[in-house]
Amino acid sequence: MTNQAHPFTLPSDLGAQIGRDRLARLVCQITGACVARLAPDLSLSGPTGTTRGRSLLDLLTYCYASGALSSRAITEMAETDPVVRRFCGDAITERDEIAAFRRDHRALIQECLKQVYEAAWQATVDEAGPGRIPGRIEEAQPKPSQSVRYDPNGLLHQINARISQAAQMDCWSRDW
């Protein structure tokens, strides 16, 4: 039996895989770096300013990585999920605001998601390595990268498909 590499596919819920709090911390770290590097004028994009633009980026990155795609699902999660609620702050985000932010900042959301998945992937690879215990010989275990082929272009394609699916779901929910 040949040990072939399988292409990397996005998990339907990265939070279930790595933990919700860990995903939230990763999202905050990555979105902060992306905004500083790619969108320092994010605060100029709307009347609510920097805090709201950044919180929407955090919210959408987290929710898309967690598998909540439609604006309706995201607003419903904000009422029940404490992590999502933290991203929203005091104001529950409206569906129209989510859709408008996604349209205006799609490339930024895509880059944040890409980096979140890459960081989670690398952490999984690092954690899968054999432990080093002095005086004990460990059997080398294959890292995930040996059984799953990482393809950055494939990752971007899947992320774009997920964001497009979110937009489609919003259109369907409005019965257009």
Q: How many domains would you assign to the chain?
A: 1
Q: Would 3 be classed as within a structural domain? A: no
Question: Are the C-beta atoms of 173 and 70 separated by less than 8 Å?
Answer: yes
Q: Would 131 be classed as within a structural domain? A: no
Structural domain of residue 55, as residue ranges? 10-124+148-173
Q: Taking the model in full, what pTM does it have?
A: 0.79
Q: Would 50 be classed as within a structural domain? A: yes
Q: Would 159 be classed as within a structural domain? A: yes
Query: How confident is the model over 30-83, as pLDDT tens digits?
Result: 999 999 888 877 754 444 444 578 889 999 999 999 999 999 899 888 888 888
Q: Would 87 be classed as within a structural domain? A: yes
Q: Would 25 be classed as within a structural domain? A: yes
According to DSSP H, which parts of 39-151 are helical? 49-66, 71-80, 82-88, 95-104, 106-127, 144-147
Q: Would 129 be classed as within a structural domain? A: no
Q: Would 138 be classed as within a structural domain? A: no
